[in-house]
Amino acid sequence: MRLSELTDGIELFEARMVWRKVGNKITRAVRCTGGPRKGRVVKSGSDCSKPIDIKKRMTFKKTKARMGKRMNRKAQRSKRINPASKRLRSMNRPLRKR
């Protein structure tokens, strides 16, 4: 017997646990491995299959087109300088490579 026979065509999405930064705090989150938000880090696994808000997506697309380089520079500076970002990077690295 296969799992697909038990689920009757329902799509199953899994999510991997990761750490993320919210302000200067580090919180647990999940990275979506399927669905419309594949690859994105969200608060809970159920958020992976929620429908996309098109208006927010278009607004961010315009903002990124206008401010993209500036956003990128600021993010890279934070990742280099902020102690919470440095701690986060080491926490999300696989244990085998440490």
Task: Please check whether residue 3 lies inside any domain of the structure.
Answer: no
Q: Which domain covers residue 38, as residue numbers?
A: 12-97
Task: Please check whether residue 2 lies inside any domain of the structure.
Answer: no
Total domains present in the chain: 1
Whole-prediction pTM: 0.71
Task: Please check whether residue 87 lies inside any domain of the structure.
Answer: yes
**Nearest partner of 25 among 92, 93, 87, judged by Cα:** 87
Task: Please check whether residue 22 lies inside any domain of the structure.
Answer: yes
Amino acid residing at 77: R
Q: In what order do the strands lie in the sheet with 41-42?
A: 15-22, 25-32, 41-42
Q: What tokens does 45 get?
A: 């696994």
What are 22-70's pLDDT values in tens digits? 988 999 999 999 888 999 999 998 899 899 999 999 999 999 999 999 9
Q: Confidence band (pLDDT; 50, 70, 90) for 7?
A: low
**Nearest partner of 18 among 88, 97, 84, 79, judged by Cα:** 88
Task: Please check whether residue 7 lies inside any domain of the structure.
Answer: no
Phi, psi of 39 (to 5 degrees): 90, -10
